Every structure is written in C-alpha cells, then in structure tokens.
Amino acid sequence: MSKKKCATWCGGGCTEEGYTEAMDYADWLVQRLGENWHPVVTENMGWYSKAISNNGTITVYGNKYGREYTAYLNEPGHIGGRWVKSGATPKAAVRAVLKMAMQERDTINSIIEASKEAIR
C-alpha cells in the first residue's frame, strides 16, 4: 500500500504513488511543449497534472489516455481561461487557443476601427 500524501481535510486518499504518477505526467506534458513550460500538480480529491507557460498565460491539461489536450489562455495568475481550445496534442491545443484569441483580437480591432467613424 502506498503512503498517503494528502491534505488531512481532503479525504480523497491521495497517495505518494499517485502524486509521483501525476508529476511524471506533468513532466511529460512539458517535454512535449518545450523549454518555456513548467510542470504543476495540484490536489483536489485526486492529483491533477498540468503544464503552465513560464509567463503564466497558458495552461495545458491532458489526460493520461492521451486522447485530447486542453489549453487555457488568460492573464497570468487567473484561474481558468478567457479562451479555451482542445487539440490532439499539447502543442495543437496551444496553437488552437492562440488562433482563437488572435481571431477575436482581429474582430475586435475591426469593430473599433469601424466605430471610430461615429466620433469623427
């Protein structure tokens, strides 16, 4: 039986073995994303792996079955994402979320430019 490694208030029965597995997976994500990322493991009724960009703007989650990865784009330090997209690989998810945000930026810029007519 693996040694428990869990906050006493959690009750999830998290183990050190589970933590090690989650950290290995977070490291695996970082290896796929490159040098500008770092691994993070959090606890909430189980261990959760993610990779966070070093500037804190993108978080990538995956599942240990490797079916899909989800990237969240937001201001550093914010939980969740203002933009969220998935992809077949960690990098594909990042590319998709950046593309989504850039398309929205372009739309917003077009609206702003068109609206300037109203105040001339």
Q: Is residue 104 one of the residues assigned to a domain?
A: yes
Q: Is residue 4 one of the residues assigned to a domain?
A: no
Number of domains composing the chain: 1
Average pLDDT, the chain: 88
Q: Is residue 61 one of the residues assigned to a domain?
A: yes
pLDDT tens, position by position, 27-55:
999 999 999 999 999 888 888 899 999 99
Residue 1 has pLDDT above 60, yes or no: no
Q: Is residue 88 one of the residues assigned to a domain?
A: yes
| Rounded CA separation 79/77 (Å) | 7
Q: Tokens 């993610």 label which residue?
A: 50
Judge contact between 91 and 109, C-beta under 8 A. no
Q: Is residue 10 one of the residues assigned to a domain?
A: no
Q: Is residue 43 one of the residues assigned to a domain?
A: yes
Beta carbons within 10 angstroms of residue 10's beta carbon: 13
Range of the domain at 60: 16-119
Q: What is the pTM of this model?
A: 0.83
Q: Is residue 6 one of the residues assigned to a domain?
A: no
